[in-house]
């Protein structure tokens, strides 16, 4: 390991101090570091590792920067939740020593490609680690979203919107919409309606080998927003269709601590209230 990229956000007042400390640690190892503001993304060059300083939003932005070269990402928890983070900032020196010694693993996470079309025109195409969302703006009106899986009609959701999430995203917005929690190794997607106007409309889990197509059927006078990871977006309207499929890219997460997915649910999402047996 010789070259790393550090992705951060400037909104945190103590960030200059943290970056100065990080520069000193990296220099002590003889590594080279490039520092990139997540709000002004740029190519990662020949970096062999991406260190992400921030919360899950910063991590999602860094994952898109790293996806084409599949550069491993190490999340450093500075955010409110930090579900995707691996270490605390003060633990970075020890983490770097373990990485330098090869004492770590890499966990692959699938990503999602989201594309919107108006007839034959491509309105926008994005990649997401968590989810793609069709949502309405500030109007309190239902939207009609005809949904197909591999060309087979599933249903027309009358709802506030629709979420298609990866297993990684099952602990994010999809969780708030009543979706199931999924272990990150599962090769599936979850389709979750947002506030559906039906007692029978429930999230559904499908293979990530499937193509999902959603046609916006109304209302005619309302623009919707298609977003990927809540960070990149394009407007869609009646007649447009949105496609969700497995991305050819993946996110690669560096794992140092032996914290399993279920322990992370307990510490980050307060999963379970009873005492562990034994």
Residues that are catalytic:
56
**How many helices, marked H, and strands, marked E, lie in the chain?**
5, 17
User: For strand 49-54 and strand 3-8, is the pairing parallel, antiparallel, or unpaired?
Assistant: parallel
The closest of 253, 224, 31, 251 to 127, measured between CA atoms, is 251
CB atoms within 10 A of CB 166: 28
Rounded to whole angstroms, the Cα distance separating 252 from 12 reads 26
Rounded to whole angstroms, the Cα distance separating 3 from 15 reads 21
- Judge if the upstream peptide bond of residue 219 is cis by omega within 30 degrees of 0: yes
The sign one gets for the Cα dihedral 47, 49, 54, 57 is positive
Alpha-helix runs per DSSP H in the chain: 15-29, 56-66, 92-100, 173-176, 261-269
User: For strand 32-37 and strand 3-8, is the pairing parallel, antiparallel, or unpaired?
Assistant: parallel
Q: Residue 151, exposed/middle/buried by CB under 10 A (0-12, 13-18, 19+)?
A: exposed
């Amino acid at each position: 390991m010789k070259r790393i990229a550090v992705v951060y956000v400037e909104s945190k007042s103590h960030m200059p101090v943290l970056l100065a400390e990080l520069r000193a640690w990296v220099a002590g190892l003889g590594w080279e570091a490039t520092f990139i503001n997540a709000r002004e993304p740029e190519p990662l060059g020949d970096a062999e590792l991406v260190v992400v300083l921030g919360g899950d939003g910063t991590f999602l932005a860094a994952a898109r920067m790293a996806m084409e070269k599949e550069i491993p990402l190490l999340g450093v928890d500075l955010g409110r939740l930090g579900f995707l983070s691996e270490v605390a900032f003060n633990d970075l020196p020890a983490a770097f020593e373990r990485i330098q010694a090869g004492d770590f693993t890499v966990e692959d996470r699938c990503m999602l490609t989201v594309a919107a079309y108006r007839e034959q025109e491509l309105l926008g195409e994005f990649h997401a680690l968590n989810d793609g969302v069709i949502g309405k703006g500030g109007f309190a009106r239902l939207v009609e979203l005809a949904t197909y899986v591999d060309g087979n009609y599933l249903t027309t959701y009358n709802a506030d919107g629709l979420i298609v999430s990866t297993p990684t995203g099952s602990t994010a917005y999809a969780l708030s919409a009543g979706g199931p929690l999924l272990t990150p190794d599962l090769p599936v997607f979850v389709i979750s309606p947002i506030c559906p106007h039906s007692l029978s409309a429930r999230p559904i889990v499908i293979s990530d080998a499937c193509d999902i197509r959603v046609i916006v059927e109304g209302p005619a006078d309302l623009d919707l927003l298609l977003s990927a990871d809540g960070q990149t977006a394009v407007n869609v309207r009646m007649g447009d269709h949105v496609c969700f499929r497995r991305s050819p890219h993946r996110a690669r997460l560096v794992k140092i601590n032996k914290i399993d997915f279920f322990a992370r649910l307990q510490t980050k999402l307060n999963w379970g209230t009873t005492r562990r047996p034994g």
